[in-house]
A = this chain, B = another copy of it.
Amino acid sequence: MSDQPLRITVWNEFVHEQQHQQVRDIYPQGIHAAIVEGLTPFFGESAEFRTATLEQPEHGLGQDLLDDTDVLLWWGHAAHDQVQDEVVDRIHRRVLKGMGLMPLHSAHLSKIFVKLMGTSCMLRWREAGEMERLWIVNPSHPIVEGLEDEYFELPSTEMYGEFFDVPPPDELITISWFEGGEVFRSGMTFRRGKGRIFYFRPGHETFPIYRHPQVLQILANAIRWAAPQGSRYFGAGRQIAESLSPIQSKHQANEALHKQ
């Protein structure tokens, strides 16, 4: 809860926008630019936004930038396999140390999300421009702060349906209803190490999802929720080698070892 601005990095593979006129029409500067534009009014001076894309060296995600990032948003779809494993490992370590991560939409199959979940992260889908209604099932969660109604609607989306092969979430925030007959756990939180992860389903590239007011509100809320917080300490895994001794002296020994 410091007075420092939140440092937010929006990553986008930025492939569809360069290949498909339909996507470029919606997001002429890329999805990443649209997300920054949409979120800026929620933060004003209290956040700094940066963007990075696949085509940059190290995909724009050098160690320095990651160390300087509180929350990383991730949009990817067509080029998951082009993301270098070394960069994925770097992000993974950074999440476990406390950086927030928000995989968006088709990022359910991004290497970083799959690595953090440990499951296939597969789901059902259908691209039919049908209506999605997102029901709030966790009404006191900060991620739905300020939403006016029990649900909100996206008039035309790609469908994602259950079974979504992820671990049981820590918190289930929204369940989506789709016109064609499916349901989907569309907003879920997961803690991994000291990192806080919010998966949020909306965001297909051929619909202007990132201009939808409730979608933006939820993303802004979730960034605040995912920012690093909690205990300053996180040093599991050091061996405590001294042999058994009376509790008092052990306390002191532990004490010494606890300081990183």
Contact = CB atoms under 8 A, between A and B. Distances in A.
A125 B241 CA distance: 8
A258 B150 contact: yes
A146 interface: yes
A236 B148 contact: no
Contacts of A195: 140
Contacts of A212: none
Interface residues of A, number: 88
Interface in A111-139: 115-120, 122-131, 133, 135-139
A183 B124 contact: no
A62 interface: no
Interface centre among A96, A117, A244 (most CB of B within 10 A): A244
Interface stretch (A27-35, A50-58, A70-78, A161-169): A161-169
Given A128-B243, A142-B229, A163-B234, 4 more contacts: A96-B120, A140-B196, A140-B228, A147-B233
Interface of A: 1, 96, 98, 115-120, 122-131, 133, 135-142, 144-150, 153, 159, 161-165, 167-168, 170-172, 175-183, 185, 190-196, 224, 228-245, 247, 250-251, 254, 258
